[in-house]
Structure 1
Amino acid sequence: MSISQQTVTIRFSEIKDAAQLMEIDDIVWDKYTAPEPLHWSSRDNYLLHCPPGSQLVAVCEDDICGYVGFRTPTGLESNHHVLELNIAIHPSYQRKGLGSRLMQAAKDMARLEHKRKLRLRVLSSNPGAISFYKTCGFHEEGRLEREFFIDGHYVDDILMGYFI
């Protein structure tokens, strides 16, 4: 069944979501999508770094199929107008419009919270994600060349932004 035929609810993350969100991180964040795979050592460690309410989750029936996380990049008041994002979609739900819906929900939430800029980072070795972010209106703001050495190759860290 396609996403368009299912009811998808987008809501803030809750403590009960931790196990499913950890599973998505374990599946999605690998050497192609992150500087190193992301494997949480425990549920408590996950909740310390990703507390309830710090993500918008997409729920199809009872399954969490993706999320967009957000946080202020620094504790500085002068940087409070910016949100840094990270997004992950379970492979079973990729390329079905869910990422676009989550990104739009993040933009809407940012507007309501009077944020002025969204930013994210993406590896140069991940052209699909770069294309997706550009489709969502993000543009390259900078590049940290050869920032990571992954799987025998240097990879750039691309900084992208979107102005609300």
Structure 2
Amino acid sequence: MASDVVIRPARAEDEREISELLRSAWSRVSEPGPERPADAAVFDERHPVENFLVAERERRIVGYIAHAPASPLESNRHVRHVQGLAVLGSARGSGIGQALVEAVCAAARAGGARRMTLRVLGHNRPARRLYLRCGFTVVGVLPEEFLLDGAYVDDVWMSRSLSGPHEPAQP
């Protein structure tokens, strides 16, 4: 990762920049849902600001990652789930995505989590390669889960242990 990038916890005043990043990064390759309205809140009850990390370069947010408990069950509190990840188009390929994934895994581990999970669209090959590099493995696939622009797309579930060192997989 570029040495001029800082990963830090998000702050309430970051909401506008994160919203702009989300809108600029939206595509059918990475999102099964509709494009976000410009005035849609980023931080809310399901997505509190303390669950976000941002990548900042020259005081500008160039990436973010959000995580949350995998479910509201106490018996599942040891599992965290990646709720979203985006990197500004001009900053992609510089290691920011990997740094954000590793930082969120470290934060989850520090909070007592033992496992991190996520979902990724089957046709999003760059994201799948990133997660494999970060030690995630495919634990399930829901075939043809989404109909996007006339094509059926798989929903790929991935998971990574946080309780020990991991060996990055080769894409």
TM-score for both structures, normalised by structure 1: 0.91
* C-alpha contact 1:138 1:162 (8 A) present in aligned 2: yes
Alignment length (residue pairs): 160
**Which blocks of at least 5 consecutive residues in structure 1 are unaligned?**
none
Aligned partners of 1:75, 1:5: CA distance in 2, in Å? Answer: 37
Partner of 2:130: 132
Offset, 1:38: 3.5
Offset, 1:125: 1.1
Partner of 1:68: 65
Q: How does 1:14-163 map to 2 (within 5 A)?
A: 14-40=11-37, 42=39, 45-48=41-44, 49-85=46-82, 86-163=84-161
Deviations 1:123-162 (A, max 9, x none): 0111111111111110000011110000111000000000
RMSD: 1.5
Task: Name the amino acid aligned to 2:42.
Answer: Y
Offset, 1:84: 0.6
Q: Counting helix residues as a fraction of each chain, which structure ranks higher?
A: 1
Offset, 1:51: 2.4
Alignment partner of 2:153: what SS?
strand
Aligned partners of 2:95, 2:108: CA distance in 1, in Å? Answer: 20
Task: Name the amino acid aligned to 1:127.
Answer: R
Aligned partners of 2:8, 2:130: CA distance in 1, in Å? Answer: 22
